[in-house]
Amino acid sequence: MVRLGTLIAISLTLGTVVFARPAAADKITVSISCSSLGIEMELCRDGAQAWAKQTGNEVKLVSTPADANERLSLYQTLLAAKSDKIDIFQIDVVWPGILANYFLDLNQFAAPDKLDGYFQTLIVNNTVDGKLVAVPWFVDAGLLYYRKDLLDKYQLKVPETWADLEAAAKKVMAGESGIEGYVWQGRAYEGLTCNALEWIDSNGGGTLLDNSAQATFNNKQAAAALDRARGWIGTVSPQGVLSYDEESARGAFQSGKAVFMRNWPYAWALLNAADSPVRGEVGVAPLPAGDGEGAKHAGTLGGQSLAVSKFTAHPKEAVDLVLYLTGKEEEKRRAIKGSFNPSLKSVYDEPELKDDPFFSHFADILDGLAVRPAAAAGRKYNQFSSAFVHAVYATLSGQGDAASNLAKVKSSWK
Amino acid sequence: MTTLRTRRAVTAWTFLAPMLAVLALVAGWPLLRTILLSFTDAGLGDFSAAGFVGLGNYRDLVADPEWWRAVANTLGFTVISVTIETVLGLVVALTLDAHLPGRGVVRAAVLIPWAIPTVVSAKMWAWMLNDLTGVVNAVLLGLDLIAKPWAWLADPVLAPVSVIAVDVWKGTPFMALLSLAALQVLPREIYEAARVDGVHPVRVFFDVTLPLIRPALLVAVVFRSLDALRVFDVIFVLTGDNPATASMSVYARQQLIDFQQVGMGSAAATFLFLVIALFAAVVVTAGRIRVAGARA
């Protein structure tokens, strides 16, 4: 084992950027950890600096590993050591259950009216044992990307159900050469959990675990959903999809080798970048619905929130900064500049976003989001997700049928 | 006489002390701590709350089919990749040992795969092996060798093959270099004598060259095997936690980091350590017996 403490101390020293102004005695320094992925750090820095200027305080940015799992273990080590080095943590949507004990209950620190207007799904996700552990910052959801030009050419409609999608994909594949139907995330990792949750939930098969962390996936509709996905491999989806993560799926879709893709909102800006071969030819829609009882559109909820450490020396200022960053103006700025989907409902009504097809579609999708059972499984969520994903992966790669593979997964994750 | 010997011993230990201290600090202590942690239910982040669970983690480990799959994957990976690397490395070394023009340039070029960091080369191969956008499928399709793209990293059969192929690509230069070093110190007279006697070159290789370089080759094989038994980076980058290819190290990392079960992960790491120690002991002993037998 490496001495984690030493490593953390070094990385914090190296990764810390202090916006030094002559330190006045009454100035308070709040430190915030932001993701360093893509444009995120820049947006976070600008937002935090604006708050510092407005309030006369200082802000310290701590950069953290881009890999989510590494970031989580860094957070856990810091928080377990009761460190006050970081006041505000940017956390993933599946972490509240794991980290809840280390964060302030924001219901007690923020005026109730300040917490109004966020999507209820997100607030519920971030509430653990009645404690609001983080304020939603931006929201992600699984989306269906499609090639407008190809659907037009073959006079196809945007698929409403998975059966529509299969039929449309087959029709285009029969007419075009060198193109695959549907690409998604099939590698055995968290991304496949998200995909499988969408298939199962859209087929009326539930959201994997109930509130007391007992398995709900041992039902016919869930098994049928997985068996249907198994049928895609080698027909509408390439076999290689079983090794795809988000970026490999985007690679295939963006280079024009697929008609449909399941991905997160981040792909939108990149698909429409100046050097993208499919620029202007891409549409976005809710993921298709299944069939049978309880079938609906379902996209897995993703996104990030801001939480305040309970070891902070300045809870008041830290909460104030969190509310500033998750406020209307700042979320609007981030939406326009980085296409981060606001967690505040009212931002979608702003004129700049209202006419943008991407954001207007997204607001509709948010009602049908499927939430991963992270709050119920708590610290055991990653273990559950891994066991579940192995059952899904075994089914997809043809080792046994869905019902028997799902039955092998442990049923209690309390 | 005695005082001189004592003084020499003292001097020797004085010189050795810093080295031993550093070893104890960077190798001994972490190993001991890992072993100690493997008997607890420590979670990532808060070691202080850990309780002693005796052999509980090892019982769970032995009962976990995923673990045994990882063990089988690792052993299969090690045996196959090291065998291919040894044979290929020897072929490359024999070629480089011949007096060809431009030998220096070729020797440097051969080393390139070994010089590239594994994470970088594995990522590079991951893109080349991509089923839709990768160059490997593009070439094979272009030559009409395959009818439709192969899923190199997804197919349960092809994925281990790809992982081994990438490791062979990287490991062969190492084997070639060590074999070449052994070849170049062989006395030339023996070969001249063999030529005078008219012995067939193939017989010369098996009766003269191979026995002479065997000790060096054995060291190279042990080095590579130890490396291969704790393989992590090439597998993790190419196929992630996929149980079809996961090695013991990949399993241990998943327990330690993803599942935050430091106790269980440490048990896996300790088991891995024992396997490697056992392997090293067996190979070295077997090698010694064979070498001794050949001499007798």
Contacting residues for A362 by C-beta, under 8 A, at least 6 apart: A141, A143, A265, A341, A348
Is A206's pLDDT higher than 70? yes
Q: How far is CA B198 from the centre of its chain?
A: 40
Cβ within 8 Å of A, B 120-159: 130-133, 149-156, 159
User: B133 vs chain A: nearest CA distance in angstroms?
Assistant: 7
User: B130: closest CA among A253, A396, A31?
Assistant: A253
Of A188, A251, A399, the CB nearest to B240: A188
Q: Kindly give, in sequence order, each residue whose CB lies less than 8 Å from that of residue A158, ignoring residues fewer than 6 positions away.
A: A144, A146, A151, A283, A285
Amino acid at site B224:
R
User: Which residue of chain B comes nearest to A248, CA vs CA?
Assistant: B130
Torsion of CA A220, A249, B253, B126, to 10 degrees: 130
- Closest chain A residue by Cα to residue B159: A243
The closest CB to that of A239, out of B37, B155, B239, belongs to B155
Q: Nearest CA to A203 among A187, A225, A176, A232? A: A225
Contacts of A383 in chain B (CB under 8 A): 258-259, 261
A127-128 vs A131-132, strand pairing mode: antiparallel
A265-300 residue pLDDT tens: 888 888 988 889 999 999 999 999 998 888 999 999
Question: CA separation (Å) from A409 to A214, A390, B255?
Answer: 11, 9, 17
**What is the reported pLDDT for A362?**
78
Per-residue model confidence (pLDDT) at position A327:
94
Query: Which residue, B189, B236, B179, is CA-closest to B213?
Result: B179
Sign of the C-alpha dihedral, residues A340, A199, A67, B120? negative
- Let me know how long chain B is: 296
Say if the Cβ atoms of A240 and B130 lie within 8 Å.
Answer: yes
Mean pLDDT in residue range A243-261: 92
Q: Are B132 and B153 in contact (CB under 8 A)?
A: no
Give the contacts of B156 (CB within 8 A, at least 6 positions apart).
A397, A399, B244
Closest of A308, A357, A351 to residue A332, by C-alpha: A351
Q: With an 8 Å Cβ cutoff, is A207 touching chain B?
A: no
Length of chain A: 414
Cβ–Cβ below 8 Å for B43 and A399: no
- Chain segment B237-295, per-residue pLDDT in tens: 998 888 889 999 999 998 988 888 889 999 999 999 999 889 888 877 876 756 554 54
Contacts with B258 (C-beta within 8 Å, 6 or more apart), sequence order: A69, A382, A383, A386, B241
Instruction: Give the closest-approach CA distance of A102 to chain B in angstroms.
Output: 12
The shortest C-alpha distance from B135 to chain A (Å) reads 13
Q: Would you state the pLDDT for residue A5?
A: 52
Measured in angstroms, the CA of B164 and the nearest CA of chain A are apart by 17
Determine the distance from the C-alpha atom of residue B176 to the mean position of all C-alpha atoms in its chain, rounded to a whole number.
14
Residue range A164-188, pLDDT digits in tens: 999 999 999 999 988 999 999 998 8
| Sign of the torsion angle spanned by Cα atoms A331, A302, B133, A261 | negative
pLDDT digits (tens, 9 = 90+) for A318-344: 999 999 999 999 999 998 887 889 999
Whether B145 and B191 have beta carbons less than 8 Å apart is answered as no
Tell me the one-letter amino acid at B9.
A
Distance from CA of B80 to the nearest CA of A (A): 23
Contact B129, B201 (CB under 8 A): no
Q: Which chain B residues are within 8 Å of A382, Cβ to Cβ?
A: 258-260
CA distance B187 to B208: 11
Mutate to test the interface with B, among A78, A92, A243 (most CBs of B within 10 A): A243
Contacts of A241 in chain B (CB under 8 A): 151, 154
Of the candidate ranges A72-76, A388-392, B46-50, the one whose mean pLDDT is the lowest: B46-50
Mean pLDDT of A146-156: 96
Of A155, A146, A106, A111, which Cα lies nearest the Cα of A126?
Answer: A106
Q: List CB contacts of A41: < 8 A, sequence separation 6 or more.
A: A34, A35, A61, A63
Average pLDDT over residues A37-49: 86
The closest alpha carbon to A212, from A411, A10, A13, belongs to A411
Tokens 């549409």, located at residue: A283
Q: Which of B131, B257, B259 sits opposite A239 (nearest CB)?
A: B131
Confidence band for A21, pLDDT divided at 50, 70 and 90 = very low
8 Å CB contact between A218 and A407: yes
Residues of A in contact with B161 (CB under 8 A): none
Chain A and chain B share a number of CB contacts under 8 A equal to 100
A257–B254: do the CB atoms touch at under 8 Å? no
Cβ–Cβ gap A240/B153 under 8 Å: yes
Q: Please tell me the predicted confidence (pLDDT) of residue A22.
A: 45
pLDDT of A25 strictly over 80: no
